[in-house]
Amino acid sequence: MNLPELLQWIQYGQKTGTAVFERRGVVKKVFVESGQIIAASSNDPREYLGQILVCCGWISESQLRNAFQKQRIAKKLLGQILVDDLGLSEEQIFQSLVMKIEETVYNIFLWEEGRFIYYEGLKDLADHDRIKTALSIDQVLFEGARRVDELREFRRAFPDDRVVFKIKPDRMLPVEFETNPLLRKVYDLIDGRKNLQRILLDSHAPEYLGYDAVGKLYWGDYIEALDQGHARAHSKSIDYQADLLKAAEFFKMKRYDEAYRVIEDFILLRPDNEEGQTLFGAIREAYRKNLYETCPPQMIPMLSTDINQLNEEIYSGKDGYLASRINGDWDIKSLIMISPMGELKSLETLKRLHDEGIISFKEPKGESQ
């Protein structure tokens, strides 16, 4: 089944159960009751509740990091901590939860490959994760198709996230743009140096909403492109078995970074290969542990140069995003907490910055030197 067929099957059968979607380590669960969507979860960091709240401008990255730290101690729900300690309203938390669920579901329409399994029953669904008004399948199908069409149009114009934009100085934003928090945030982030990837990370926007905001500004003639970037280069290999064997060989040799690159490309081309999925999981976990050996979570990154002196390639992308958050106080664990890139990509980036001498690590006070 493709996604629309699956959703229609759920709707017409008035199903109550859970559909689990997986692609390259990203796992999403969509909970349905009587043929309607009542909740969704995702391990994509861009779709976490905290990231949504930062995207909406209701909390800062520092407040999110502090809330996570309090959550570990108090063992309370993140939303409750934000209400009790930061004064957010229950309505703000609810709106963010609805947005989180909608983006989790709609984003699946943007996947070009992946796999799913459906099973009966609402396993592991907590009451506080349900939304009051369920999403109808018809609504989801309509909105999902619209987003796919719009993203394709955007990608025809800008096939790569390395494109750089600048503000058109003679154009003023209209009132409806000024009152849209995400549009305003994205507009303010455009400086003629940051590429699209960096802008989306800085905004903390879910995937489609970030591209949509940039598209509105571009086609509204408020920004212009300086650099179209370069087309993505994916592996063109057709010898799948050789790639699988190569990844396994690198894995045995404990060359985890090379193993991960090969198996990641393999899974992109062959998402339904069970042997590949099993190897991907094993390599990913080994690579994660290996990265933590180089970048221990308690270590505090320190910039070895001024952030403004970084070259354009580093400054404009995801390297620049993490480098700009290094303040001599936050440890690696804190940076990962607030990063929309997630754990593995954040660790990869920190290791690369460390290997290139852009950052160093210091032990926290009280630790042996």
The pLDDT of residue 230 is: 46
- Report the pLDDT value the prediction gives residue 109, as an integer from 0 to 100: 94
- Tokens at 342, concatenated: 């997630």
Single-letter amino acid code for the residue at 285: E
pTM for this one?
Answer: 0.84
Percent of residues, the chain, with pLDDT higher than 90: 67
Q: Which of 365, 294, 300, 344 is nearest to 326 (CA)?
A: 300
| Cα-Cα end-to-end distance for the chain | 57
- C-alpha distance from residue 186 to each of 56, 139, 302, 367 (Å): 11, 27, 27, 40
Across the 369 residues of the chain, what is the mean pLDDT of every consecutive 10-residue run? 93 96 91 95 91 93 91 85 90 92 94 90 86 92 95 92 92 87 94 93 94 95 77 50 91 95 85 87 95 95 84 83 92 94 93 92 72
Q: Write down the pLDDT at residue 75.
A: 81
The whole-number pLDDT of residue 234 equals 44
**Residue-level pLDDT at 315:** 82
What is the model's pLDDT at position 233? 43
Q: Residue 245 CB: number of other CB atoms within 10 A?
A: 12
Amino acid at 184: R
Locate the domains of the chain by residue range: 3-152, 158-227, 240-294, 300-362
pLDDT for residue 365 = 79
pLDDT score of 38: 95
Q: What is the pLDDT of residue 170?
A: 86
What CATH topology corresponds to 158-227?
Answer: Arc Repressor Mutant, subunit A (1.10.10)
Span 179-203, pLDDT tens digits: 888 999 999 999 999 999 999 999 9
Identify whether the C-beta of residue 132 lies closer than 8 Å to the C-beta of residue 28.
no
Q: How many residues does the chain have?
A: 369
- Quick one: tokens of 288? 């994660």
CA distance 269 to 272: 9
Q: Judging by beta carbons within 10 Å of its beta carbon (0-12, 13-18, 19+), is residue 52 exposed, middle or buried?
A: buried
Q: How far apart are CA 353 and CA 100, in angstroms?
A: 31
**According to the model, what pLDDT value does residue 366 have?**
64
- What the block records as the tokens of 261 is 């690159």
